[in-house]
Amino acid sequence: MVMNNNDDTFIREVNEELRSEQLQTAWKRFRPAIIGLAVLIVAGVAGASVYEWWQARESSASGDRFLSAIKDANDKKSEQAVKELETLVKDGFGSYPVLARMRLATLKAEQGDAKGAIADFLALGQDAGVPQAMRNAAKMRAGWLMVDQASYAEIAGQVEELAAPTSPVRFSAREILGLAAYKAGDYAKAKDWMQKIVDDNDAPAGARTRARMVLGMITASGKLS
């Protein structure tokens, strides 16, 4: 029994020695790679922190420039605002180049250049590099301006897909289409679009009120039985 215990102890010591030698051999062999990997991990963590700091700094700087341009526009310093916004389009960070393009188009509309504003908004709406929500917003802005500038067919070509039942901007799209149809004298189509707004339980109260007003005008016109 004592012999067996001695054998077990001896075997365990031998195994531990072998493991120690194996670890030492492995360390000597793979030490450069292990150290290199550790350095990469540390550098990666540090690099991520530096990148996050750089992103925050650049975003803050672009945000300040954008707000400055908006203030200039509100103060009627249009030329200065346009220059600041055009610079942001070229070298702004994050979403600010797109926001600057949107604001430039808005300035054109405010200055009476509806056609130029429509072209700019539609260009944004068709830009695959712009987030979908902002593309939709640009198409909607173009649609509102087009009501007084374009035919129903032209407006529908840009906006109708946004009037689908699952579209988050369907109420505004339907309102644009209804107004465009009413302006074109197509009262049946106008009624159809406005009725869709009234019948949608999720429609905002303001959109429903305006839709009912248009429906009332259609009824009062007597042009639909």
* Boundary (domain end) residue, out of 106, 128, 149: 149
Residue 92 confidence (pLDDT): 84
Its pTM stands at: 0.71
Mean pLDDT of 58-73: 78
Residue 98 forms part of a structural domain? yes
Give CA separation, 165 vs 113, 170, 210, in Å: 33, 7, 19
Residues 6+ apart with CB under 8 A from 186: 152
Q: Is 173 within 8 Å of 141 (Cβ atoms)?
A: no
Longest Cα–Cα distance of the chain, Å, equals 115
Residue 18 confidence (pLDDT): 45
Q: Is 57 within 8 Å of 65 (Cβ atoms)?
A: no
* Boundary (domain end) residue, out of 149, 174, 196: 149
Token couple for 185 = 């004298």
Residue 198 forms part of a structural domain? yes
Query: Among residues 171, 176, 147, which one has the least CA distance to residue 159?
Result: 176
Residue 173 confidence (pLDDT): 95
Each residue's pLDDT tens digit, 174-207: 999 999 999 999 999 999 999 999 999 999 999 9
Residue 186 forms part of a structural domain? yes
Each residue's pLDDT tens digit, 32-52: 655 555 555 555 555 555 545
DSSP secondary structure letter of residue 161: G
Distance in angstroms (rounded) separating the CA atoms of residues 136 and 140: 6
User: 127 and 107, same structural domain?
Assistant: yes
Structural domains in the chain (count): 2
Each residue's pLDDT tens digit, 113-160: 999 999 999 999 999 999 999 999 999 999 999 999 999 999 999 999
User: 188 and 167, same structural domain?
Assistant: yes
Distance in angstroms (rounded) separating the CA atoms of residues 62 and 92: 6
Count of beta carbons in the 10 Å neighbourhood of residue 187: 18
User: 143 and 79, same structural domain?
Assistant: yes
User: 160 and 86, same structural domain?
Assistant: no
User: 178 and 123, same structural domain?
Assistant: no
User: 78 and 135, same structural domain?
Assistant: yes
Domain that holds residue 123: 66-149
Residue 1 confidence (pLDDT): 46
